[in-house]
Structure 1
């Protein structure tokens, strides 16, 4: 079977977009923030933890550490930059309870489910092992993939728009704690994976939708009112032409 280029494009882009969105969902780098933590006291816990590893940075008479905080949908991490000291934990507190974070989680999970279902339908519809594709089934799968891409784009938009305010409802907890250094938050790598994957889902799903258009079969010059391909087999003007190969095409 000669698979249409739009089907090939859709069946390649849709799984690639699913992988990228799934990678973004499970990684904790949706937003990042760096802060310099001073260690003036000789008995500081962080100072004792990194003593001997050369991670202290002297600023005048006070040592400092550069901390990297990252948050994802289901996990947060804290790491001393340029070291192996890293601690991760499931999201909790105001950040976990933030309705915008919960909305993003729900949209991403729904997007992954719809995209997976759409890819299964698209594979059934393309039917590369058969002569005739099921264009309606492939188009249905493409519609689900487009919807999944739009849902993930919505989730990413909500998170990015509120990135600096997520989890800040309770000033006495979380990263806004006065005892913890202020973090200047910015988008991180997982967001970019998500944006790219969502765009690929929309492109792949749209290609599958466009593949639902049936190819136009040649008509018999003597029987223009019979557009179906079987008419070509009964048309003497087409079958009696020399050096002409006649193929049976099922539309």
Structure 2
């Protein structure tokens, strides 16, 4: 049996979203700060959830592990760290559950288990979108050495990864609706008592049982060809032409 398309879609989108959210979590570029007073004009500060780096546009040098206790003490940073980690862990668990439900090595998938995996993938996507959207909303209000604040690429990757997980989870959760109407879970049709056609002139018949799915068509016997005997005896007087 082929793997259903909804499961293929979910198992493709979920790992893609996991990779994007992982990059968004560990990379130090949730926002970039330009035109910092008292430093070189080509210096750009990149701030993430776990690290802060300084880059220079003229030399392309990067200096990470910068200390900024005021930035990391913001409430949004602590909440974003916890939610992003929870999203990554839940996504890994969800992919494992969904893979067990799909069961590509068997004839039929387990729609219930695959649907539960889809719901977990959906929740992981929501957990990733919440901190990204919240950080974007209050980005300019977080303490900063300059007013020239721009969106970092990590926010973009976080949005895309969360949306991919949400879509993949919604598609896979359709399996829960499919398992409710599975034909294999219905009770078999009851047996009915019928009378077989009699092969003799007597009125007695032999009862037997069959279900609705039983084929009750009886092949009819072929009629033998109508062969008439040739009459070789002459009942009239022969004519001259017959001699």
Which 4+ stretches in 1 moved above 4 angstroms?
Answer: 215-218, 231-234
Structure 2 residues without counterparts, runs of 5 or longer: 191-209, 220-243
Match of 1:66 among 8, 21, 42: 42
Q: Deviations for 1:207-243, whole angstroms, at most 9, x for unmatched residues? A: 110123136649xxxxx9839xxx99943179x9xxx
- The verdict on how the C-alpha distance between 1:5 and 1:93 changes in structure 2, with shifts beyond 3 A counting, is same
Given that residues 70 and 77 in structure 1 are in contact (C-alpha distance below 8 angstroms), is that contact kept between their aligned partners in structure 2?
yes
1:24 aligns with 2:24: yes
TM-score, normalized by length of structure 2? 0.72
Given that residues 153 and 198 in structure 1 are in contact (C-alpha distance below 8 angstroms), is that contact kept between their aligned partners in structure 2?
yes
- The verdict on how the C-alpha distance between 1:232 and 1:34 changes in structure 2, with shifts beyond 3 A counting, is farther
Tell me which of the two structures has the higher relative contact order, counting C-alpha pairs closer than 8 angstroms and 6 or more residues apart: 1
Given that residues 189 and 212 in structure 2 are in contact (C-alpha distance below 8 angstroms), is that contact kept between their aligned partners in structure 1?
no
Q: Which residue of 1 aligns with 2:93?
A: 117
- The verdict on how the C-alpha distance between 1:164 and 1:28 changes in structure 2, with shifts beyond 3 A counting, is same
Name the CA distance, whole Å, in 2 between partners of 1:232 and 1:162: 68
- The verdict on how the C-alpha distance between 1:121 and 1:237 changes in structure 2, with shifts beyond 3 A counting, is farther
Name the CA distance, whole Å, in 2 between partners of 1:90 and 1:202: 34
The DSSP-based 3-state class of the residue aligned with 1:69 is strand
Name the CA distance, whole Å, in 1 between partners of 2:27 and 2:79: 17
Equivalent runs, 1:129-208 vs 2, <5 Å: 129-166=105-142, 168=143, 175-176=144-145, 182-208=146-172
Name the CA distance, whole Å, in 2 between partners of 1:142 and 1:195: 19
How far is the alpha carbon of 1:87 from its aligned partner? 0.9
The alignment's C-alpha RMSD in Å is 2.8
Q: Which residue of 2 aligns with 1:10?
A: 10
Equivalent residues, number: 195
Tell me which structure has the larger Cα radius of gyration: 2
Q: Which residue of 1 aligns with 2:84?
A: 108
1:226 aligns with 2:189: yes
- The verdict on how the C-alpha distance between 1:209 and 1:37 changes in structure 2, with shifts beyond 3 A counting, is same
How far is the alpha carbon of 1:9 from its aligned partner? 0.5
